[in-house]
Structure 1
Amino acid sequence: MPGTLTQLPASGDRITRGKPLYKVDNKPVTLMYGSVPAYRALKTGTEGPDVEQLERNLAALGHTGFTVDEEFTDATADAVEEWQEDQGLPETGAVELGRVVFAPAAVRIDSLAAAEGDAAGPGGKVLSYTGTDQVVTAALDVADQRLAKKGAKVAVAFPDGTSAEGTVVEVSTVIEPGEGGQDTEPETRIETIVELDAGKGRKAAAAFALASVDVSFTAEERKDVLTVPVAALIALQEGGYGVEAVEGTATRYVPVDTGLFADGRVEISGDGITEGMTVGMPE
């Protein structure tokens, strides 16, 4: 839309339906939700899916009195005039090209490509935006590909020590040229996209856009097993491991079979290994 940019958002701002992305000649260019890009003026007599998505937005913003379909009728024009009045726009009953921007959902301003006072016009880039879903990109070695399963739960640790759970929503193989150019083997890695769970995770991530985080994948899981601190394991002379079972004032060494190691503990099993038994620890 030709004119002068008079108001711009800040990088990181979140814009929702019905709110201005920016202003040209002090008039808003408004965000609405939809998958069809704005490509023409919408007015009485216009038909098509872009008309229907405009009408859905008008209804969501409280402007009713028309049927949501692909026909721009006189009733649609009346609702547009109400919307234009709320926006401080001339009440024409038609939506000129460039007055609204359609995006699938709320957006987050990524960067600005213009400044207030610059001229705006067809084909000129004003800003770029992303979706508002909080996601984390995690890279794995090819040897760890078995961990990268779509739908797998992971733990994400943020720089301030807080953590949240997430779900792997996308897995892809990335091949990049070697650092030495054509004479070196390409480098391959597994890249995963993790979507943070709603609530605490997304709130925490909002403060760490573009920050590095630690992502923990679960290689395997055991339920209803017995564990002891790894430091409780003792290497036996005959081979293998055991634990020092404490029974009153007496102790004895009990051979064990080890299972998974995680968080400083190890799964153990074997004859004489029971829940609640006391094991010795090095001083």
Structure 2
Amino acid sequence: MAIISCPSCLSDNDIHLGADAADGTRTFRCGECEHTWGASVAPTRSTSDRSPFEMARGRFATAPMLSPERAARVVRLKRQFLKNEPLPTPEVDEHRARFQHLFSAEVLATCDPQDLKDFATSSIGGETGTASIYSRAWNKLGADEAAERTRESIDYLLRGPDDIPLEDRLTHLIEEDVDTAMPGFKEPLLTKVLCVVYPERFLPLFTYTAEGTGKREITESVFGLHLPAKHDATAMQIGRLAVWSNDLLLELVGDGFTDTRHAAAFLLWDKDRAGARPLTSVR
């Protein structure tokens, strides 16, 4: 059976049949983003042609869902925020350069275990929460084994099998679905690895959901878009939500910032000034 997907947001979750057009063709309306289109351009795909990953991605929020009112508010506050130049961060820049080099395939395999522990326990570049679980696991396993498992976790995240998307590799490590996962080296630290290696793509916001600093909460407060909760047993898994929310925020926040750290600082600043309830619900 063929299904109809919205050509704007690609969702097939809430499609409505509209009134017939003047030429007699049928029209459709997407309940997710309110886009309407004629049947002649409606893309249809067999359910067997779309993976659960693709179908879940199609149900996630997109930038066109942002209301004009909320967009105007963000532009106004962004203009105010950008009047002040960001302070230099040489310590953070040095930290990122150091670990970009260390996480390369050639260096990671033979790096000093202490370098890996330094990364996991350092607050430079952003707070990732307590490292107590990681430190206890490090002491229990011993430096050599703990370092090897940390190396394997980082390598799997960055250079895992090509047929497993980054989002799903992140889920596997967070949920310890792979044997090499290191206890305590979870979502915040794994996201920090991504921020170090891909600084132009990943915002230094290290959790999908957390009071005050989670990407889900920021998206709701700043942009009025309500993102789904994590569901282990469905396609909305934590790694997918973490990456997709990052990509959405990066698109929504736009340009004008010196880097992703600057953009993240704006989002946190804006969140503290936002109070409106979410305008669009995304299942």
- TM-score over 0.5 for the pair: no
TM-score where L is the length of structure 1: 0.22
TM-score where L is the length of structure 2: 0.22
More strand by share: 1
